[in-house]
Amino acid sequence: MADPCSVPPEVLVPATNQTLELALGTRVALNCTVRWAGAGHCQHSPAWSKDGQWLGSGGSQDSAWFAPNASEQLLSSVLQLNLAHDTDFGVFACWISNATATFTLRRAEVAGHMPAVLAALLVLVLLMLAAGLYVRCHLNVLLWYRNRYGELEINDGKLYDAYVSHATAPDDRKFVHFIVKPQLENRYGYKLFLDEQTLLPNAEPSADLIMNVSRCRRLIVVLSVAYLEQDWCNSSFREGLWRLLELSKKPIFIVFESQYREIHHPAITLLKQHRGAVTLLRWRAGSMTPSSNFWKELCLALPRKVSFQGPVGDPQTQLQEDKDPMLILHSSYLDSGGDLHPDGDLGLRECVFRSLPPPRLAAPVPAAGTGDAQLRDGQRPEIDVSDLGSRNYGARTDFYCLVTEDDI
């Protein structure tokens, strides 16, 4: 009869060769458990090796016991390891009699957080940069796109680009005549129709208003405190707004920042509620600069302006070589060097008139033959007044009009 102790034990744990990937600094316990049949007490001594090198017997904890039916014996050997260095990793083998269990320990590469943090910071910086560029340049991009690909509003029978309604208060007049009008007409080439009469008398548009607004592509209302004191603004602004929406496409309302915070008028609340149907612009302290966002937003609300390349000046002065002082575009006796800003009518700070030249002494009247000889020699009189009666001075729009504050 064969000796039961000579039968190789059966490995219970681990069932197969085991491979573990552990991080550096990990503590691990390798458990090797076997069993064999037989009631006799067999002496099996476990032994451990690493990479083919035997380890000391004091590194493992061994325990043996019988099964409940006392027909089988079990033996367990536990090896405690502290993976503090790279040399602590390797192939460990548990030897119990003729049975072998193998554990392969590998170092796991822990992904560092630094690349992820740097990537997140880079994305955050890019988003902040994109937001800053959008806030700073989105109006310029919209203007460029509108001026290049926007819809043209031509051949529509309109004579003006905008109808400007303002109050008769001095501040409103100065704002419209010396800021809005010069900037839009001289810098951007728009044509404005100015009106300081009540926009909706008796809360209903007048015949003149309907006719004038129909000749303009947009409607601009300077909504100052003085403007809000009109009857239709206090009594029926909501109904008046519906009338304006019927007359004009998305009317433009301009309010002043200094007054905007102090105004508690129902009209302001109503305009805020209908921002999709109207354009509400605020004039701030820095809006005087031609490159401010106010003018960009205002130009976006106005129709696209088309520039036509052509000769500058009156065709009469270019085709007929007219020397009439009334038809000379750049008169020599007007000095505009004192204008502080070429794009706006901000007032002249110097004397615009030069002293008149001394009067010429009357020369002797030449004989008829002498005058004819001068004309035949190519000399022309300095001023030709022979056709003054046939010229149309009403078509000129570039004259200076000298008025006083009382006239305004």
pLDDT tens-digit series, residues 321-337: 444 444 444 434 334 34
Q: What share of the chain is helix, strand, coil (3-state, %, to 5)?
A: 35, 25, 45
Residue 323 contacts residue 331 (beta carbons within 8 Å)? no
Q: Residue 216: exposed, middle, or buried by beta-carbon count in 10 A (0-12, 13-18, 19+)? A: buried
Q: What's residue 89's pLDDT? A: 92
Cβ(161)–Cβ(191) below 8 Å: yes
More confident residue, 383 or 128: 128
Confidence of residue 92 (pLDDT cuts 50, 70, 90): very high
Give the pLDDT band (50/70/90) at residue 404. Answer: low
- Indicate if the pLDDT at residue 27 is higher than 80: yes
pLDDT for position 346: 44
Torsion of CA 228, 231, 237, 239, to 10 degrees: -160
User: What are residue 277's phi and psi, to 5 degrees?
Assistant: -100, -20
Amino acid 134: pLDDT: 86
The arithmetic mean of pLDDT across residues 222-250, rounded, is 87
How confident is the model at residue 330, as a pLDDT?
43
Is-contact 245 276, C-beta < 8 A? no
Confidence bin at 73 (pLDDT 50/70/90): confident
Query: For the residues of 54-116, what is the DSSP string, one character each?
Result: EPPGGGEEEEEEE-TTSSEEEEEEEEEEEE-SGGG-EEEEEEETTEEEEEEEEE--PPPSHHH
pTM, whole model, 2 decimals?
0.50
Q: State residue 394's pLDDT score.
A: 46
Per DSSP, 365 falls in state P
Share of the chain above pLDDT 70, in %: 71
